Amino acid sequence: MWSYTARRLLGLIPVLVGISLLVFMLLHLIPGDPATVLLGERGTVEQIAALKERMGLNKPLLEQYFIFVGQLLRGDLGSSTFSLIPVSEELARRWPATFELALAAMFIAITVGIPSGILAAVRKNTRLDNISSIISLLGVSVPVFYLGLLLMYLFAVNLHWLPPSTRVSSNSFQSITGLFVLDSIIQRKGFVDVIAHLILPALALGTIPLAILTRITRSAMLEVLSQDYVRTAKAKGLAERVVIWRHALKNALLPVVTIIGLQFGTLLSGAILTETIFSWPGIGSWVYMGITNRDYPVVQGGVVFIAVVFVLVNLIVDLLYARLDPRIQYR
């Protein structure tokens, strides 16, 4: 197990090198000179030259790349061109918001999607199965930005049940860990308000993972339920719930866990559309502002962070396989 983990970690090196190369080239593949694009038409020759000097754009391309990689290895992601705030500080400040939203969305997807997939498989070709398939198809098909606006219009504007955006209503709320749900529990205040602000963006963000989990769980369960050991368990007179939960589900979890890991990695990457629509101060909305303002250090730092998180989440999921399925041997 440990040797396999070490090999997987070593295998991440070329992946991370490729990521760094792609992110570095983002700045140089844009049309025109990057410094001129950043300063706009009103930038003087002196200002453009000064910006090139500050960003190292006057050096050879290969030297710029090695400088960029060296900064990454030191944890230096540069500073925002507009706010001059270090990118690493901004990431540290916004990461908890994205992590909390991703956890909430994944919680909704798992608690609703997996039971729905199990019920659809057990009640195959019934009305319940058809309804589940239709809802799953809609969940994958409806764009997130449209669903977010629809939820906001219905529950915030019309019904006034939930707030439309941001993380908390009160400006006096003090953050300790950056995770507002945990902070509200620690401080014993603001919990209801924090949850109320979290529901709509979590619903909008969790819809696609929920639909995917429902379909994958249904397919995996249908395959397992047709196996001989499941028929044997039924022939022994075991209760249906015991056969489903103890025998079938455990063996159907492997592809489900794979999807959970992939989807959670995607959510942690920063849901740009969801965070932007709901004014959620996470990584996604921050990267969107960086793209809008052509703040390339922000975009580069955000993309590097997103890619690394996604790679690490997939590594963790891969290592969990042995725990879920003893038949898998890591050598």
Domains and their CATH numbers in the chain: 2-73 (no CATH), 93-324 (1.10.3720.10)
Q: Which residues contact 262 (CB under 8 A, 6 or more apart)?
A: 314, 317
The answer to whether the CB of 295 falls within 8 A of the CB of 286 is no
Residue 79, classed as helix, strand or coil, is strand
Q: 323 Cβ partners below 8 Å, 6+ apart?
A: none
Q: Determine the pLDDT at residue 200.
A: 92
Query: What is the model's pLDDT at position 323?
Result: 66
Residue numbers in the chain where pLDDT is lower than 70 = 1-2, 4, 27-28, 30-43, 172, 269-270, 322-331
| Lookup result for tokens 């570095």 | 24
Q: How far, in whole angstroms, is CA 299 from its chain's centroid?
A: 16
The predicted pLDDT at position 325 comes to: 64
The whole-number pLDDT of residue 203 equals: 92
Neighbours of 111 (CB within 10 A): 13
Which two tokens mark 122?
């057990």
